[in-house]
Amino acid sequence: MESNVFSLYDLGTLIKRVLSLNFQDKIWVKAEIAGCKVVRGIAYLDLIEKEEGQSDKIIAQQSAVIWQGTLQKINGKLSEPITGFLETGREVLVLVQIDFNVRYGLKLVIDDIDPAYTLGKLFQQRQELEKLIYIEKLHEPNKRIALAPVIQKIAVLSNDQAAGYHDFVHQLTENAMNYAFSLTLFPISLQGTLVEETVLNQLKEILKSKYTFDVVLILRGGGSKLDLAGFDSIHICRAISSFPIKIITGIGHEVDETLSDIVAGISLKTPTAVAEYLLYHNQTFETSIQQMVLKINDIAKYKVQQAKLRILRFQHELSLRPMRVIDKTNTKLENIQKYLPNLVDNRLKKEKVKLSYLDRLISLVNIPSTLKRGFSITKILPDNKPLNDGLIANMEIETIWEKGSFKSIIINK
Amino acid sequence: MNTDNISYEKAYSELETIINQLESDALSIELLAEKVSRAAYLLELCTQKMRSIEADIQQIIGTS
């Protein structure tokens, strides 16, 4: 029995020996970071592995440490501070030396990190989420929201500490056109796990605000791909997509595109580019107003010119037309004046001719003068009918001549 | 008929009627002198009116 009993120290020493024999070389281990804190230049990490699939069940867990010297070495090859890199939830590939301390137990001493692995993992996750965005059509709704013709009330999701935000404010407010803007900053965390939470909360705050904002901006200056990874959250994407106000993103540098950029109403490269866009947008409106004013001026001038010409034409007509009418009328009246005496004269002449004709006619048919010329008048008795009524035998007739009259009886006819 | 207030159109129309009657011999000889006198009067009236209108127009155009 006694021979089978180890002291704790002996056991520890045994384990340490077994481990040393089996893990002489450093090995690459892939794991997820469950937590990380840096104390006095030494990073303490919790590494975990979860069950395959959607489950969050932890199936393995180890403590790890990065000593100060190693931390400085790794820092040199990362594009961002290692504290940012070692963010909870990241998948890392680390080169570890298994260390067993008889008193403190097992610890993984990290000697190196392969950032390409983490980036690759993130890229893979991002690719999957990007597919999801297009499946859920999250990239469309916010783009359909129209931008107000003039943008003045602006909600900014960014951080007062960020250089990108200050560049933006400077660019926007120091504009040559003297456009005024009302900026309200809704502070968010610009990297790490808090990005998602703060963005979602502040978007809700914007909707609760008493102001009606013309536009919502999400601004963040340049950073490494890992820095910007917070904006690849599918929850942020869904919130942006369904947001009732137009959202403009200016996240990172020229080459960066986060998933938030894909679903935003408008995605611009940098915060400064967003400021330029807003100024240009408002200037476009002002220019259109100026052009309208010019156009109205031109049209008004043209109309006045036209009216002047018409009036001139009328004036000309007015001086000519009445005179033409008057001349014509005067001519008519003159003609009547000339014509009237002739007409009267003609009429009188005609009457005179008629009278002299009648006079002659009357003198021709005068009975006494006819009888004097040796003619006689015969009438049928007793009614003094004219002869043309017809004569018959035994008819009594009376004949009147110059010297008197006599009666006769027709014997034969 | 109040001839002082007769319009140019009425005067001219009456004048035309008289001329037509003269041309067509429809006018009674009895009324000839009276009608010719009326025609002369109307003619003078029309001429006066035209002169007055002409002067008015010239003044209007001249001062506009």
Nearest to A347 among B25, B50, B61 (CB): B25
**Could you tell me if A333 lies within 8 Å of chain B, comparing CB atoms?**
yes
Q: How far is B9 from chain A (nearest CA, A)?
A: 11
**Could you tell me if B15 lies within 8 Å of chain A, comparing CB atoms?**
yes
- Where are the domains positioned within chain B? 8-63
* Interface probe with A: pick from B18, B41, B50, B56, most Cβ of A within 10 Å: B50
> Two tokens at B41?
């009067």
Nearest to B57 among A315, A322, A329 (CB): A322
Cα torsion for A28, A30, A34, A39, to the nearest 10°? Answer: 20
**Could you tell me if A322 lies within 8 Å of chain B, comparing CB atoms?**
yes
**Continuous segment of H or E residues that includes residue A224:** none
Q: How far is CA A321 from the centre of its chain?
A: 54
**Could you tell me if A344 lies within 8 Å of chain B, comparing CB atoms?**
yes
Size of interface A-B (CB pairs under 8 A): 49
**Mean pLDDT computed over every residue of chain A:** 88
Interchain proximity A344–B54, CB inside 8 Å: no
Under the banding of pLDDT at 50, 70 and 90, the label for residue A389 is low
- Rg for chain A (alpha carbons), in Å? 63
Residues 6+ apart with CB under 8 A from A46: A33, A34, A35, A36, A61, A62, A63, A64
Q: What pLDDT, on the 0 to 100 scale, is given for residue B64? A: 47
Q: Return the percentage of chain A with pLDDT > 90, whole number.
A: 48
Strands (E), A325-380: 377-380
d(CA A248, CA A264): 6
**Chain B hits for A318, Cβ within 8 Å:** 61, 64
Buried/exposed A209-246: b ≥16 CB within 10 Å, e otherwise: eeeebbbbbbbbbbbbbbbbbbbbbbebbbbbbebebb
The least confident of A59-73, A75-89, A92-106, B3-17 is A75-89
Interchain proximity A336–B54, CB inside 8 Å: no
Q: What pLDDT, on the 0 to 100 scale, is given for residue A395? A: 86
SS3 content of chain A, % helix, strand, coil (to 5): 50, 25, 25
Which pLDDT tens digit goes with each residue over B33-48? 898 889 889 988 988 8
Strands (E), A201-265: 215-220, 247-251
Calculate the alpha carbon distances from B31 to A22, A157, A337, B26, B34 in Å: 158, 110, 19, 11, 5
Interchain proximity B39–A329, CB inside 8 Å: no
Q: Rounded to two decimals, what is the model's pTM? A: 0.58
Q: Does domain A126-284 have CATH number 1.20.210.10?
A: no
Interchain proximity B47–A348, CB inside 8 Å: no
**Helix ranges, A210-270 (H):** 225-228, 234-241, 259-263
**Could you tell me if A336 lies within 8 Å of chain B, comparing CB atoms?**
yes
Topology (CATH level 3) of domain A2-113:
OB fold (Dihydrolipoamide Acetyltransferase, E2P) (2.40.50)
- Where are the domains positioned within chain A? 2-113, 126-284, 368-409
